[in-house]
C-alpha cells in the first residue's frame, strides 16, 4: 500500500465509525418525535448493552490456550469483593491487579 | 454546577486512565515496530477513536488496498454504536452545541458512564457527560503521544492492565443485578451475547447478538402490553 492508500483506508474506517455514531441522531433529530418502540428500546438497551460489553470485552478469552481461566478467576474475585464492599473502583482495581498478577505469573501470554 | 460536574467526571473516569494510557502506548509501540510513521497512532486515535477498531485498522494497513472492505468492516464492528445512540437519544438530544461533540466522542466507556450515572441536583449533567467524553478522548489521544516519546524507555511489566476495560463493564453489570429494573435486560443482553459468541466465535457474533436483542425485546414488549390490557 502507498501512504496515500493507507491514509484513505484510515479515513474510510473513520467515516464508517462516525456514521455508526451519527445515524440514530440523524434519524431522530429531536427528542420529541421518537417512535414508541424506539423509546421502549432506549429504556432496556442501556442495560442489555452493558451485558453485551461484558462479553465483548473478553470475547477472545474462551478461545485461547487458557480457555478463559484467568478471566474467570478475576471475575469471580470481583464478584466476591463487589458483594463485600459494593465499591465500584475497589472492585475494578482489585480485579485488574489480580488479573495482572495471574497473566504475569501462572498464565504467561503465549506468543 | 459545572465545577461539581468536572470533579465527578474525574471520579468516574480516573480508574480508566492507567489502562487507557497503557493500551494507547502499547498500540503506538506496535505501530512503530511495524514501521508506520509516528503521526499515524495519534491521527487514528483522534479520527477513528474506537480502540478495538484501531487495532483492526493496523491489520488492514498491512493487507492489500480495499477501501470498501475497510469501510464495511468499520461499520460492522462499530454498529454497536447505533444501539448506544438509540439508548442515549434523549439525554444527548437537547444539548445544543455540546451535542455534536457528545456524538463524536461516543465510545463504549463514555456510553457506559453517561447512560448509567445519573448525578444529583448539585451536578450539571450535560457538562458531566461532556467532561466524561472529553477525558476519555484526551487520555486516549494523549496516550499515543506519550507512547511516541516514551516507548524506548518502558521497562516495567504492565501485561494484563488492559483488563481494566472488562473490569469496568463487568462491575457495572454486577451493579445492575442488584437493581430490580435493570436485572432482566442486563441478563438478556449478557445471555444472548454469550450464546452467539460460543456458537459463532469471536469474529461473527456481534450482528447476530444485536439483531436478537431487537427481536427478544419486541416479543417481551408485546407480552408486557398484553398483560396490561
Q: According to the model, what pLDDT value does residue A111 have? A: 59
Output the nine-digit C-alpha cell for B172.
457495572
Report CB contact under 8 Å: A47, B186: yes
Distance to chain B for A110, nearest Cα, Å: 12
Find where cell 441478563 sits: B187
In this prediction, residues B54-71 reach a mean pLDDT of 86
Going by C-beta distance under 8 Å and a sequence separation of 6 or more, which residues neighbour residue B74? A12, A13, A14, A15, A16, A17, B48, B53, B57
Instruction: Please give the residue of chain A at the shortest CA–CA distance from B15.
Output: A89
In this prediction, residues A38-47 reach a mean pLDDT of 86
Count interface pairs A-B at CB distance under 8 A.
257
Q: How confident is the model at residue B113 (pLDDT cuts 50, 70, 90)?
A: very high
CA dihedral B45, B51, B55, B61 (to 10 degrees): -40
When the pLDDT of each residue in chain B is averaged and rounded to a whole number, the result is 89
The counts of H helices and E strands in chain A are: 4, 0
Distance to chain A for B37, nearest Cα, Å: 10
Return the H-helix or E-strand segment holding A110: none
User: Helix axis angle, A3-27 relative to B51-62, nearest 10°?
Assistant: 150
Q: According to the model, what pLDDT value does residue B211 have? A: 92
Nearest residue, CB atoms, B86 vs list A29, A45, A103: A45
Q: Which of A64, A55, A71 is nearest to B206 (CA)?
A: A55
Output the nine-digit C-alpha cell for B144.
499515543
When the pLDDT of each residue in chain A is averaged and rounded to a whole number, the result is 91
Long-range contacts of B206-215 (CB under 8 A, 24+ apart): B206/A56, B206/B76, B206/B77, B206/B79, B206/B80, B207/B76, B207/B79, B209/A52, B210/A52, B210/B79, B210/B80, B210/B82, B210/B83, B213/A45, B213/A48, B213/A52, B213/B83, B213/B188, B213/B189, B214/A41
Chain B residues whose CB is inside 8 A of the A6 CB are: 36, 40, 61
B152 secondary structure, DSSP code: G
Report CB contact under 8 Å: B86, A37: no
Instruction: Decide: B176 and A50 in contact? Cβ < 8 Å.
Output: yes
ipTM > 0.90 for the complex: no
Q: According to the model, what pLDDT value does residue B224 have? A: 84
Instruction: Please give the residue of chain A at the shortest CA–CA distance from B189.
Output: A48
Chain A residues whose CB is inside 8 A of the B115 CB are: 46
Q: How confident is the model at residue B13 (pLDDT cuts 50, 70, 90)?
A: very high
pLDDT digits (tens, 9 = 90+) for B145-182: 998 998 777 656 667 877 877 898 899 899 899 889 89
Using DSSP's 3-state secondary structure scheme, residue A2 falls into coil
Residues 159-218 of chain B whose Cβ lies under 8 A from any Cβ of chain A: 159-161, 163-176, 182, 185-194, 197-198, 201-202, 205-206, 209-210, 213-214, 217-218
Q: How far apart are CA A72 and CA B70, in angstroms?
A: 34
The winner for highest mean pLDDT among A45-54, A56-65, B96-105, B220-229 is: B96-105
Q: How confident is the model at residue A5 (pLDDT cuts 50, 70, 90)?
A: very high
Instruction: Please give the residue of chain A at the shortest CA–CA distance from B179.
Output: A47
Q: How confident is the model at residue A18 (pLDDT cuts 50, 70, 90)?
A: very high
Chain B residues whose CB is inside 8 A of the A36 CB are: none
Return the H-helix or E-strand segment holding B117: none
Instruction: Please give the residue of chain B at the shortest CA–CA distance from A78.
Output: B171
Q: Which of B109, B167, B169 is nearest to A97 (CA)?
A: B167
Q: How far apart are CA A86 and CA B33, in angstroms?
A: 42
Amino acid at each position: 500500500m502507498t501512504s496515500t492508500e493507507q491514509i484513505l483506508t484510515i479515513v474510510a474506517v473513520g467515516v464508517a465509525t462516525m456514521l455508526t455514531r451519527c445515524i440514530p441522531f440523524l434519524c431522530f433529530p429531536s427528542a420529541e418525535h421518537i417512535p414508541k418502540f424506539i423509546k421502549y428500546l432506549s429504556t432496556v438497551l442501556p442495560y442489555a448493552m452493558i451485558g453485551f460489553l461484558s462479553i465483548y470485552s473478553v470475547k477472545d478469552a474462551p478461545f485461547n490456550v487458557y480457555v478463559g481461566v484467568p478471566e474467570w478467576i478475576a471475575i469471580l474475585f470481583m464478584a466476591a469483593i463487589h458483594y463485600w464492599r459494593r465499591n465500584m473502583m475497589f472492585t475494578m482495581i482489585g480485579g485488574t491487579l489480580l488479573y495482572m498478577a495471574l497473566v504475569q505469573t501462572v498464565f504467561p501470554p503465549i506468543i | 454546577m459545572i465545577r461539581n460536574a468536572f470533579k465527578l467526571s474525574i471520579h468516574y473516569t480516573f480508574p480508566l486512565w492507567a489502562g487507557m494510557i497503557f493500551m494507547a502506548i502499547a498500540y503506538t509501540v506496535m505501530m512503530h515496530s511495524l514501521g508506520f510513521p509516528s503521526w499515524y497512532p495519534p491521527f487514528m486515535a483522534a479520527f477513528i477513536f474506537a480502540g478495538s477498531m484501531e487495532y483492526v485498522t493496523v491489520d488492514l494497513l498491512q493487507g492489500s488496498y480495499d477501501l470498501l472492505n475497510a469501510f464495511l468492516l468499520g461499520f460492522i464492528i462499530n454498529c454497536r454504536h447505533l444501539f448506544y445512540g438509540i439508548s442515549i437519544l434523549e439525554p444527548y438530544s437537547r444539548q445544543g452545541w455540546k451535542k455534536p461533540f457528545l456524538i463524536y466522542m461516543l465510545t463504549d466507556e463514555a456510553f457506559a458512564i453517561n447512560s448509567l450515572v445519573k448525578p444529583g441536583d448539585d451536578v450539571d449533567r450535560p457538562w458531566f457527560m461532556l467532561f466524561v467524553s472529553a477525558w476519555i478522548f484526551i487520555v486516549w489521544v494523549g496516550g499515543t503521544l506519550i507512547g511516541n516519546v516514551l516507548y524506548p524507555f518502558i521497562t516495567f511489566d504492565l501485561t494484563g492492565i488492559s483488563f481494566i476495560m472488562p473490569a469496568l463493564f463487568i462491575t457495572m453489570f454486577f451493579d445492575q443485578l442488584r437493581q430490580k429494573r435493570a436485572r432482566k435486560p442486563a441478563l438478556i443482553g449478557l445471555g444472548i451475547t454469550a450464546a452467539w459468541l460460543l456458537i459463532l466465535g469471536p469474529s461473527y457474533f456481534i450482528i447476530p447478538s444485536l439483531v436478537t436483542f431487537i427481536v427478544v425485546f419486541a416479543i417481551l414488549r408485546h407480552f408486557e402490553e398484553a398483560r396490561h390490557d
